Structure 1
């Protein structure tokens, strides 16, 4: 099969639209509604769970032995922990991210009465007042506060605005799309993955490609707090590919170009056979790719397994610099992921036995155990 024609203009446009919709974990209704409307516009049937996870269906020749492709709509954020006597707000993070990344960011408080703008600042923000202490103060969520852009200088005046403990705080993205293909923004994790999935789905719909089994395109809403895909997989799904970010940093093998295939994360290795199928698809179709292992990372795949799903799992990622901070990616990686997603959806079933929950050894997989070719060669013959 030739490489699919991925509409990168559509991909970039969808990413920009998704980034413009605040969606910290727990406040995802607006983005769920947007994505549902986009699926409806494409003519793709979908269902929405009680809390808002979306299951879109691309029908295949067979219902059983279905595949799932998953990304998450929710992002990092914060919650109001306390209204302080000085009218500032104490925060706790939603998801795992450093207060250092939050310092001086603009944000929106999403209260029951409406939205308020503000800035997250270190407790000692002014060098004119605190001199060198602005550089020596500790880093941590107890060392920052949210300054509300309203006439409120004490607790009572903040409460009078309608701001309460437990209100969600959405962090501004500061998004830039550069002419050289780089994209800089907060919350590229995982709205970039969502955009890549939409681009792949659009290409499949446009091409009317036939797939061997049902493909469930799943968009979760609680990945950043750990539960993710734990309760959204249907019983007929036997394989699940998560799309998320891969960290480009010292000691990592991820890249901002091509597909980075996760071999293992902090939970353990991904499925041997599904992972190597994805690698073969990249190799056979000329998709740039690299492998990586993530020590301090988990995705929707981990939550699905912990939720009791007996499915094969794999992780494909777009390389991201400064994950969970002010992130940067390249459009090339998103296009590559969309290509691989399309090819995987259309690829033949290789492990027919997976359709059965329990079965005998007939058709069970094998992993190589023989010595590699040339492993016993005489080194003197290699010059």
Structure 2
């Protein structure tokens, strides 16, 4: 099966995506950006009440549909309290460790549209003042935002328009190395989103006829548990979540292959569909790893919990240091793209 992976184009799109702030609950800008891409590709799509996008490409068989999903929402925070010092206490959006964002630059997005810069720090950062700073817990009580404005009181900060409930996004610090590594926050799951958009582009540009009507669902609430659990067309038989492979001790996944998940915290994925993905990878000489993610859930598992009668599976590029300053390699993106292309061009068994 002939397929050309457009590496430069894919990485350029990924860079654009990660540089648009989109913590869960604050995704209108990123969804508008992707809606514009779908318009340019002249593909039929809908926008759900929750703000997700579902693009549909009709296939030869319009009775049994496929759905592929990736999510564009990311980790972030919200202002929990404007402190007396003028600095900000935060509450998490999504699940991560505070030490993973300590020292990171950030943007506060005010209700009136201002973007105010700051840095996420421990309150007790100054070692010349706080003797036990290194041993204090990194938590909501000690982590704060130092605003890059002349503020000394809560009133000073509120005069800038900052208030409880404002969203805070983390700088991605995107970098592509000469030897193929891609480092950035929010590769989960904008790497997969870029791959799905590129797949749609390939299908449209080549006038490809798919064996089954296929939906491409870009969700925007996955990090808080309910991104892809609605608006699944009734004809959908197979539901494939495209999301990161988790790397660490005891894991098979790496930064160079496509990771196929057999089980996560929600339980096993559909056995026959998972095995079919493995067989496709073998037949097409696609480098893959089969893995189990112990503390993980996906839009596919959210759909199952919502009661959809579908066969569900999960695959994606391997992402190092998930929910922190993440990294992958172009080889992993290439292998994932090849498996996605092979999958949508293969008839259901």
After TM superposition, the score normalised by the length of structure 1 is: 0.89
- What SS does the aligned partner of 1:343 have? helix
- What SS does the aligned partner of 2:59 have? coil
Distance 2:177 2:44 in 1: 34
- What SS does the aligned partner of 1:234 have? coil
Deviation at 1:232, TM superposition (A): 2.7
Q: Which residue of 2 aligns with 1:83?
A: 82
- What SS does the aligned partner of 1:43 have? coil
- What SS does the aligned partner of 1:240 have? strand
Q: Which residue of 2 aligns with 1:115?
A: 115
Q: Which residue of 1 aligns with 2:195?
A: 196
Q: Which residue of 2 aligns with 1:271?
A: 270
Q: Which residue of 2 aligns with 1:130?
A: 130
The answer as to 2:211 corresponding to 1:216 is no
Q: Which residue of 1 aligns with 2:246?
A: 247
Q: Which residue of 1 aligns with 2:301?
A: 302
Superposed, 1:303-322 pairs within 5 Å as 303-322=302-321
Deviation at 1:51, TM superposition (A): 2.4
Deviation at 1:221, TM superposition (A): 0.3
In 2, are the aligned partners of 1:4 and 1:203 still within 8 Å (CA)?
no
Distance 2:110 2:348 in 1: 49
Deviation at 1:116, TM superposition (A): 0.6
The answer as to 2:61 corresponding to 1:62 is yes
In 2, are the aligned partners of 1:76 and 1:96 still within 8 Å (CA)?
yes
Distance 2:176 2:2 in 1: 25
- What SS does the aligned partner of 2:301 have? helix
The answer as to 2:30 corresponding to 1:31 is yes
Task: Answer with 1 or 2: which has the greater Rg.
Answer: 1
After TM superposition, the score normalised by the length of structure 2 is: 0.98
Distance 2:253 2:68 in 1: 21
Distance 1:56 1:214 in 2: 11
Q: Give unpaired runs (5+ residues) of structure 2.
A: none
Q: Which residue of 1 aligns with 2:336?
A: 337
Distance 1:206 1:181 in 2: 26
Deviation at 1:141, TM superposition (A): 2.3
Q: Which residue of 1 aligns with 2:179?
A: 180
Superposed, 1:133-148 pairs within 5 Å as 133-148=132-147
Distance 1:255 1:25 in 2: 27
Distance 2:111 2:94 in 1: 22
RMSD of aligned C-alpha atoms? 1.0
The answer as to 2:103 corresponding to 1:97 is no
Deviation at 1:33, TM superposition (A): 0.6
Deviation at 1:262, TM superposition (A): 0.3
- What SS does the aligned partner of 1:242 have? strand
Distance 1:289 1:115 in 2: 41
- What SS does the aligned partner of 1:30 have? helix
State the aligned residue count.
348
- Runs of 4+ aligned residues of structure 1 deviating over 4 Å after TM superposition are none
- What SS does the aligned partner of 1:340 have? helix
In 2, are the aligned partners of 1:53 and 1:220 still within 8 Å (CA)?
yes
Cα deviation digits, residues 242-265 of structure 1 (max 9, x gap): 111111111111011121100000
Deviation at 1:207, TM superposition (A): 2.5
Cα deviation digits, residues 255-306 of structure 1 (max 9, x gap): 1112110000001000011111111110000000110001101111111111
Q: Which residue of 2 aligns with 1:226?
A: 225
